Homo-oligomer: A and B are copies of this chain.
C-alpha cells in the first residue's frame, strides 16, 4: 500500500547542512526558527496559539533511501533503525517537539529547533503533557551511551 501526503508548509532554521545540527530539540535550547504554513491550510492554525509546545511532523528531505541497520549519532555500533531516531528510515518522517513563542498570520515562531532549513512540513499537533508524558523505565542501548544528547551534533552519515 502506497500512501501519498502533501507538503503543508516549510520549516526555517539556522541549519543549512546536517553537519553540526542538534540531534534532538533538547540539544537545541534557545535555537529559533519559523514554520510557514501554506495559505490554503492557514485556517487550521486557529486556537494553536494557546499551546506552549507543539509537535511537528516533517519529511527528512535530505535523507536518501533507507537502511535497516544504522549507527546512530549517540552510539558507535549498528542498531535497528526503528530503535533509533535516525533519519534514514523506510518512511523518513521526523518528529520534533518545539516551543511555540508566537503565531502571526500563517507563521509560527518556534524555539528549540533541531530541524534543517527548508524542511517540508507534514503536520502540526498540540503537545499536551497529559497525553504525551510516559514513564519510560527502559531506554535500551541509549541507557549505555556515554554521549550527551544535548552536546552531540549530527554529521554527514545519513546523507
Contacts and interface: CB of A to CB of B under 8 A. Distances in A.
Contacts of A46: 68-69, 79-80, 83
A32 interface: no
A137 to B, nearest CB: 5
B95 A57 contact: yes
Copies of this chain? 2
Interface string A124-144: 111111111111111111110
B52 A83 contact: no
Among all A-B residue pairs, the 3 with the closest Cβ atoms? A50-B140, A46-B80, A47-B83
Contacts of A107: none
Interface size for chain A: under 10, 10 to 19, 20 to 34, or 35 or more residues? 35 or more
B120 A139 contact: no
B126 A50 contact: no
B132 A132 contact: yes
Contact of A83 (B3, B7, B50, B93): B50
Given A79-B46, A140-B47, A53 B134 contact: yes
Interface in A1-45: 1-8, 24-26, 37, 41, 43-45
A93 B122 contact: yes
A123 B43 contact: no
A20 to B, nearest CB: 19
Given A5-B3, A82-B44, A149-B130, A50 B125 contact: no
